[in-house]
Structure 1
Amino acid sequence: MAAVGDLHCRDDQHGRFRQFVKQVNAEADLLVLCGDLTDRGMVEEGKVLAEELSALRVPVAAVLGNHDYEHNQAKEICGELARAGVHILDGDHFIFEKVLGVAGVKGFGGGFGNATLQAFGEGQTKSFVQEAVHESLKLEAALSHLDTPKKVVIMHYSPVAETLEGENIEIRPFLGTSRLAMPVDHYGAEAVFHGHAHHGAPQAKTKSGIPVYNVAMPLMTKMHPEQRFLLLEV
């Protein structure tokens, strides 16, 4: 499978992903996209990306990222991508050839381990924490309904702190939360893929040893400039 996030497609980028699509078609059986599909959350950007991805000959499962919500047009973006055959996941799953289940959520921030933000104090803080809890519960529901021989998880925010190494330490709590790792460790998975951390580290593990891959395209471009995505046999 091929995995990448943070495409940040703009409405003036017709043809930018032509080579990317060609390589995915040649090398992968499945593509997963880990959020920030558009740059400013504009439906025009979604239309351009849908046009680019319509040339794919492999199934595509995706989640949205924070950029995709910027202009409150996420629903319209999802509609454009769906018409191009992209399966947008938000607390649900996609099954590939009855063998591999892909569970997906956007995720949220909130910090990690003993420094995870708790729902205490102002209402705004409680709302922030509740969003992370809600995303974790959606992922739990998605995984609980999967009975395929193999499972992978896609999200935008990171479930572990280690793949954020390289990002400014001040912003790391806003790039993910360990609440997202809890359902993964409980139900198990072959791997977790996320984006969001353009300057992060490529790989880490959850507490139970499940591999976590940061596949943000800016990072993948530095590591794999010839293909700009991670190719992994599952």
Structure 2
Amino acid sequence: MEEIIKVEKLTKTYGSRKAVSNMNLSVNRGTAFALLGENGAGKSTAIECILGTKRADSGNVSVLGYDPAADRKTLFEKVGVQFQENNYQEKIIVTELCEVTASLYRKTAEPEYLLEKFGILDKLKSPVEELSGGQKQRLSVVLALLPEPEVVFLDELTTGLDTKARRAVWKTLSELKEKGLTILMTSHFMEEVEALCDEICILKQGETVFYGAVDDAIRNSPCNKLEDAYLWYTDMEGTADENF
């Protein structure tokens, strides 16, 4: 399979603290990869270094064969990014926000198509300030997918969404993944990880404590469920009950 993201020995420190330590990962085309860990484990720092928005202390990163830091302009057309926190102008209309975003790229998908796929087409003429938190979250995913990227970075994808909306987002992304979209994401929902992801990397204080397939994360732990396995990897004293 074609390797889309490659990270070798990525390290980033802040003072004496290592936010990310010697991270290695590889993500193939048409697959989904999740970075997991508690708040402060290093997930956001790792993504920023992979995107090239933050400079690593050492290590090598390539996205679609490019150096993200040196080739940001080239990658801009090929990569979509959705952040958990977005600062949209509250008075701007959804359709206007889509038009402004689309104007940054040479070619884009039809905004109405994506808005419908993510269940917010009825908000096309609404000001962003009138959207609920979950609707804003789905809008941020729409904007990330608008340039029809080859790879998309998704930060806490379905925070604020109810169960029905969450599953609808998973279904749409699974369909796009089957068409070749590559996904690198963070999440605190293990059900979401199981529904979407092929491989995961679990971080604990910047260190990789597990890297591999979702099933292997369970198989290599004393647990029967991914959520319990995740807790076992991130707290080696064992707060997870393997019988649940």
Q: TM-score range by the shorter chain?
A: 0.3 to 0.5
Looking at CA atoms only, which structure, 1 or 2, has the larger radius of gyration?
2
1 or 2, which has the higher strand percentage? 2
Q: Which has the higher contact order (CA 8 A, sep 6+)?
A: 2
TM-score, normalising length: structure 2: 0.38
TM-score, normalising length: structure 1: 0.39
